[in-house]
Amino acid sequence: MSTPHLILPNRTAPLPADIAYLREKYPRETWDAHRNFGDTARFWMQMHDMFRELGGMLKTATHHFREGGMAPEEFHRFFAPRLRYFLGHLEGHHGIEDAQYFPLFRSYDKRLIVGFDLLEEDHEYIHEQLILSAQTGQAFIAALAEEGDARRFAADAYAESADRLLDWLLRHLADEEDLVMPTIIEHTETALFSR
């Protein structure tokens, strides 16, 4: 287990510099122009941006619906397929990181072990919250056909779990990028992944 202030539910700032030890050498603004920023890095960032964008869209649409700005049928058509896509792909993305990529980083340099163990632990917190969001999301979708309090309570329960999921996810994505991208740039994708 990680130190209490670093676990995802308690983490409110970027990872400390002794864990993200290459972050200062390769600031975020310089990543995508660097010659070692390869296809895997680009795809990784694109996936993260997709999760940020889709998570933000779901949050905005839910808020809009709760404010009365959208009919239930219209909201249902927008919301249900996107929520399924978001949660399913997020689960898949973390599975690939845990099984394939994180072990390669850890085995490349011992100094990376602490950070990638922490990120893997983040996935567990996110997984629990994702399950809760899927359950409350299903209940919310089912309650769209109902009027009044039942629908409002279901919307409240979903919004609460989804907002927490998104907060945690945004923290996790940024911290993961702070470890992954500078490490790729320092060592190259060939050195890290072709072993």
What residues line the site for Fe ion (CB under 5 A)?
97, 176
Nearest to 125 by CA among 11, 44, 20, 15: 11
Q: Nearest approach, Cβ of 101 to Fe ion (angstroms)?
A: 9
Nearest to 132 by CA among 2, 7, 45, 9: 9
As a whole number of Å, the end-to-end CA separation of the chain is 29
Rounded to whole angstroms, the Cα distance separating 2 from 112 reads 14
Q: Of the two residues 28 and 64, which places its CB atom closer to Fe ion in the complex? A: 28
Q: Of the two residues 65 and 178, which places its CB atom closer to Fe ion in the complex? A: 178
Q: Nearest approach, Cβ of 1 to Fe ion (angstroms)?
A: 18
Q: Of the two residues 176 and 178, which places its CB atom closer to Fe ion in the complex? A: 176
Q: Of the two residues 81 and 92, which places its CB atom closer to Fe ion in the complex? A: 92
Whether the CB-CB separation of 44 and 179 falls below 8 Å is answered with: no
Whether the CB-CB separation of 58 and 90 falls below 8 Å is answered with: no
Q: Nearest approach, Cβ of 111 to Fe ion (angstroms)?
A: 19
Q: Of the two residues 97 and 178, which places its CB atom closer to Fe ion in the complex? A: 97
Give residues with Cβ within 8 angstroms of 176, minimum separation 6: 48, 97, 119, 122
**CA distances from residue 55 to 122, 131, 133, 186 in whole angstroms, order as listed:** 17, 15, 12, 31
Q: Nearest approach, Cβ of 180 to Fe ion (angstroms)?
A: 8
Q: Nearest approach, Cβ of 58 to Fe ion (angstroms)?
A: 18
Q: Of the two residues 71 and 96, which places its CB atom closer to Fe ion in the complex? A: 96
DSSP state of 146: S
Q: Nearest approach, Cβ of 94 to Fe ion (angstroms)?
A: 5
